[in-house]
Homo-oligomer: A and B are copies of this chain.
Amino acid sequence: MKLDQSMKIGIVGLGLIGGSYAQGLTAEGFKVGAVDVRRESVDFALENGWISDGRSSVDKDYIGQFDLIVFALYPKTFIRWIENYQQYLKPGTILTDVTGVKSGVVETVQKMLRPDLEFIAAHPMAGRESSGVENARKEVFYGANYIVIPTEKNTPEAVELCEDLGRVLHFKNISVLTPEKHDEMIAFLSQLTHCIAVSLMTCREAGHLAEYSGDSFRDLTRIAKINDEMWSELFLLNKEQLLGQMDLFEQAFCKLRQYIQADDRDAIREMMRNSTRQRVLFDKKGD
């Protein structure tokens, strides 16, 4: 199955990411509908021409028309939605998602899913520090990373369709990972960084220092403005992986602290040179 403009695509959950999918897909010539419990979100997307139609409750006939559905919900809400409403979907419908954690989500959904439906997991690695459809914009995906997370239950056709979706939305790197590899990687690259930012921002009274701060503090705390409902759920769903990555970081931090305590300048410099070498691998243009 190929992604083509005759397909009707549904977005369930019109928040920052769902709204950006809607805008991006409509801009690329697809017919897009949406469901969100918040009436204002549906109206906002309609007024902006990001969807051709939408509902603020789950209407059997409405959701039965989609060929492809993107779930942009929090993980547990997504699972409950499938439990309650998969009965209304058209046979052959492909489902995908944007969930930031895959273990405990992909397996659960695939296990309960009707055999004539297929769920192929994806993770668009993009976001902003503000939430809600009002802050959505399709450019958030341009040049970002997109990961497809198939299991043995998926067909090559669905994997390809899911990759196409990433391409159409202008993601740059499209890669494939297992749920386990995905969650280990995300624990380090994304969840640990949010833990660090939150800890740095809350470890002391700092508001009076704002006028002195340079770019480094601003950069390290940009993500300290955080959606607590979503991130706390993601942290706990990926708890073991996250705790493991937090321990690795803390060990390195304590080692550096010991070097400083001991006035061991050579060891500090060696650690900094290693840091510089590692960071170069992450350079990208304009960085």
A residues adjacent to B (C-beta < 8 A): 125-127, 144-145, 147, 173, 175, 177, 185, 188-190, 192-204, 206-207, 209-214, 216-226, 228-229, 231-233, 235-236, 239, 242-243, 245-246, 248-257, 260-261, 263, 265, 268-269, 271-276, 278-282, 284, 287
Contacts and interface: CB of A to CB of B under 8 A. Distances in A.
A243 B239 CA distance: 29
Contact of A125 (B145, B214, B231): B214
A271 B217 contact: no
> Which label, helix, strand, loop or mixed, suits the secondary structure of the A interface?
helix
Given A198-B271, A257-B246, A278-B207, A223 B228 contact: no
Given A188-B206, A193-B200, A243-B260, 7 more contacts: A127-B214, A189-B213, A193-B217, A200-B252, A203-B252, A236-B268, A246-B257
A260 B278 contact: no
A248 B204 contact: yes
9 contacts: A188-B206, A195-B256, A195-B260, A198-B256, A206-B282, A228-B268, A228-B272, A232-B269, A239-B260
Given A193-B220, A257-B246, A280 B212 contact: no
Contacts of A280: 225
Contact of A268 (B127, B185, B210, B232): B232
Contacts of A257: 195, 243, 246, 250
B249 A250 contact: no
Contact of A248 (B125, B203, B235, B263): B203
Contacts of A204: 188, 245, 248
A202 B254 CA distance: 12
B269 A229 contact: yes
Contact of A272 (B190, B226, B278): B226
